[in-house]
């Protein structure tokens, strides 16, 4: 089994490196790349700062996609070894099953197909190892593991706010237990400094993270059973239907462990501060040995995914849950499955996972190598060209452009992609969206007053939508590598109408903090005289 695991690890790593090197850079990745190119000390418009810090460090080495995506390549490798290590502490005499667990997890399509560097990359890493430390703390009753869990939780909170779901999980698990409040307090104290750093940044930066995550992105939320159904489908996709069915069957059988040589009995408390749990007698060669683990600790492992997934389910009635949100907790599902399911079932699940990966491989190859003309009947063709041939698009868009003109787009994703390929920042013209407003912190439209601006787009540009902001506007379309792009050339940019009609609406819609939040600085509002 060890040889099988190592072979699968080698093949999947080669595949991951190949995709990391040659799969087109995505719009989200290019957007986060700009965080690394313009680092900040405590956050960015959308999220806390962690991935921006990582990308800043990586850009000191190279801007090649292989280098930038290296953390994503290594992510699931680190997680799988963490899972195997944790399983070894749960069931130290089940060596072969550790390798089986590792190969089962590596056979999942997302572990080798998802190699994008995004905010979820550090989030998944820190959340998993926070959970790892928490389980170790419960197993060994060692306070330093609770401290480590808190520090890693804090780092996860510096990656993305919904890391707070793990904090809720810890609270639900610990509070009913004797001594649980002290343990939870230690975790919270160790996580708090990282959260305070981000809150200090928010207080001096318009409370951008809070406004975006709690207010702006939730406007228009409404009750929808379709969103619930979509959430369930996504969850089944990630954990795979066959794993769900296998666990459900095991549950109906009474949830007993698959290991015939393990007998669980309630643990006797050694002292009043000991963690509650289970004592597992493992019989090896007729000798009874002690370990704390399998049957009791799978309760805490189950909590690490049941609570977050349950909270996501409740949230899905009013908000669409992203597929990538679930990735942070999915590893605990498979760790739980390895404890509960027999070898024969795990082998079968791994085999089905490998077949499940085939359509994913074909889809990725199609996006990478199919001729552009294949996508011609579809609206995504210009986006395919923009992702695949970004340098050609930049060159074509800049042809016959005045030397003093500024190239822009109307989309944060398009601007970020063009900026990555041009290795020069490209601003966003117009309202944009509540997502990805990082450009507001970089571009000062006052300095563009009177200048010429070229606006590029993958969709048609209406001249009338731009007349108020320029002394003269002309629009043309241009074929670039088989796809149609639109170009608007605006002469003599008029800042005052733009401030009155666009920037004032942006300020009202995206930068209006609640009165109970003390604002100690807001660059956007200060720059344009709105405060």
In this predicted model, what pLDDT tens digit does every residue of 63-85 receive, in sequence order? 999 999 999 999 999 999 999 99
Percent of the chain exceeding pLDDT 70 equals 92
SS (H, E, C) 113-172: HCCCCCCHHHHHHHHHHHHHHHHHHHHHCCHHHHHHHHHHHHHHHCCCHHHHHHHHHHHH
Radius of gyration of the chain (CA): 26
Give φ, ψ of 356 to 5 degrees: -65, -30
Mean pLDDT across 482-506: 97
Mean pLDDT across 92-115: 93
Residue 375 domain-assigned?
A: no
Q: Are residues 133 and 271 in the same domain?
A: yes
Q: Are residues 309 and 416 in the same domain?
A: no
- Number of structural domains, the chain? 2
pLDDT of residue 433: 82
Could you give the residue ranges of the DSSP H alpha helices within 220-322? 225-239, 241-252, 294-316
- Burial (CB < 10 A; 0-12, 13-18, 19+), residue 529, is exposed
Q: pLDDT, tens digit, for every residue of 331-390?
A: 999 999 999 999 999 999 999 999 999 999 999 999 999 999 999 888 899 999 999 999
Residue 216 domain-assigned?
A: no
Residue 376 domain-assigned?
A: no
Q: Are residues 387 and 292 in the same domain?
A: no
Distance, CA of 157 to CA of 187 (rounded, Å): 13
Q: What is the pTM of this model?
A: 0.90
Mean pLDDT across 5-25: 96
Residue 189 domain-assigned?
A: yes
For the four alpha carbons of 88, 91, 94 and 96, in that order, the dihedral sign comes to: negative
DSSP-derived pairing of the beta strands 453-457 and 406-409:
parallel
Task: Kindly list the distances between the CA atom of residue 255 and the CA atoms of 83, 295, 339, 357, 452, in Å, as whole numbers in the listed order.
Answer: 21, 10, 11, 29, 69
Q: Are residues 145 and 253 in the same domain?
A: yes
Q: Are residues 253 and 131 in the same domain?
A: yes
Domain that includes residue 478, residue range: 381-527
Average pLDDT of the chain? 90
Token pair recorded at residue 29? 């990745």
Indicate the pLDDT class of residue 291, thresholds 50, 70 and 90. very low
Q: What helix, strand, coil percent values describe the chain, rounded to 5? A: 65, 10, 30
pLDDT of residue 356: 96
Q: Are residues 408 and 497 in the same domain?
A: yes
Among 439, 419, 422, 441, which residue's Cα sits nearest to residue 431?
Answer: 439
Query: Count of CB atoms within 10 A of residue 65's CB?
Result: 22
Residue 431 domain-assigned?
A: yes
Q: Are residues 290 and 393 in the same domain?
A: no
Give φ, ψ of 316 to 5 degrees: -65, -15
| pLDDT for 271 beyond 80 | no
Task: Look at residues 366, 398, 413 and tell me which one is the last residue of a structural domain.
Answer: 366
DSSP-assigned beta bridge partners for residue 484: 479
Residue 215 domain-assigned?
A: no
Q: Are residues 317 and 387 in the same domain?
A: no
Task: Look at residues 341, 366, 391 and tell me which one is the last residue of a structural domain.
Answer: 366
Task: Look at residues 366, 401, 429 and tell me which one is the last residue of a structural domain.
Answer: 366
The SS3 assignment for 488 reads strand
Token pair recorded at residue 15? 């595949």
């Amino acid at each position: 089994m060890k040889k099988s695991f190592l072979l699968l690890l080698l093949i999947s790593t080669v595949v991951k490196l190949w995709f990391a090197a040659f799969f087109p850079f995505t719009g989200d990745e290019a957007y986060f790349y700009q965080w690394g190119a313009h680092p900040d000390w405590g956050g960015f418009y959308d999220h806390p700062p962690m991935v921006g810090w990582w990308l800043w460090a990586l850009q000191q080495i190279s801007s090649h996609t292989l280098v930038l995506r290296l953390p994503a390549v290594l992510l699931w490798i680190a997680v799988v070894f963490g899972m195997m290590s944790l399983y070894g502490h749960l069931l130290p005499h089940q060596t072969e099953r550790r390798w089986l667990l590792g190969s089962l997890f590596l056979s999942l399509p997302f572990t080798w197909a998802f190699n994008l560097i995004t905010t979820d990359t550090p989030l998944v890493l820190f959340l998993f190892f926070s959970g790892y430390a928490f389980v170790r703390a419960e197993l060994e009753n060692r306070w330093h593991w609770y401290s480590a869990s808190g520090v890693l939780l804090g780092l996860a909170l510096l990656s993305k706010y919904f890391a707070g779901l793990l904090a809720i999980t810890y609270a639900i698990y610990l509070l009913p237990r004797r001594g649980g409040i002290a343990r939870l307090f230690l975790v919270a104290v160790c996580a708090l400094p990282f959260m305070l750093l981000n809150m200090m940044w928010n207080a001096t930066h318009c409370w951008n993270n809070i406004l975006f995550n709690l207010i702006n992105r939730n406007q228009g939320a409404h009750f929808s059973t379709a969103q619930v159904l979509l959430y369930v489908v996504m969850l089944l996709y990630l954990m795979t239907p066959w794993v769900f069915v296998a666990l459900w069957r095991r549950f109906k059988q009474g949830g007993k462990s698959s290991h015939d040589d393990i007998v669980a009995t309630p643990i006797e408390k050694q002292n009043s501060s000991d963690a509650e749990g289970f004592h597992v007698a493992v019989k090896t060669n007729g000798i009874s040995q002690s370990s704390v683990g399998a049957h009791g600790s799978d309760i805490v492992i189950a909590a690490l995914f049941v609570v977050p997934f349950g909270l996501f389910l409740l949230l899905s009635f009013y908000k669409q849950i992203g597929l990538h949100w679930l990735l942070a907790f999915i590893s605990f599902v498979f760790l739980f499955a390895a404890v509960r399911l027999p070898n024969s079932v795990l082998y079968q699940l791994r085999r089905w996972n490998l077949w499940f990966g085939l359509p994913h491989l074909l889809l990725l190859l199609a996006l990478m190598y199919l001729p552009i003309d294949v996508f011609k009947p579809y609206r995504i063709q210009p986006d395919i060209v923009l992702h695949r041939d970004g340098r050609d698009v930049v060159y074509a868009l800049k042809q016959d452009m005045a030397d003093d003109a500024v190239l822009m787009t109307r989309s944060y994703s398009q601007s970020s992609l063009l900026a990555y390929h041009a290795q020069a920042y490209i601003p966003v013209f117009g309202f944009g969206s509540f997502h990805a407003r990082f450009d507001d912190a970089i571009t000062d439209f006052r300095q563009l007053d009177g200048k010429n601006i070229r606006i590029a787009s993958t969709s048609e540009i209406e001249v009338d939508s731009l007349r108020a902001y320029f002394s003269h506007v002309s629009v043309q379309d241009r074929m670039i590598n088989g796809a149609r792009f639109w170009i608007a050339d605006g002469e003599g940019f008029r800042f005052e109408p733009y401030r009155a009609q666009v920037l004032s609406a942006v300020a009202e819609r995206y930068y209006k903090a609640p009165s109970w939040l003390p604002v100690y600085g807001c660059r956007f509002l200060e720059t344009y005289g709105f405060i």
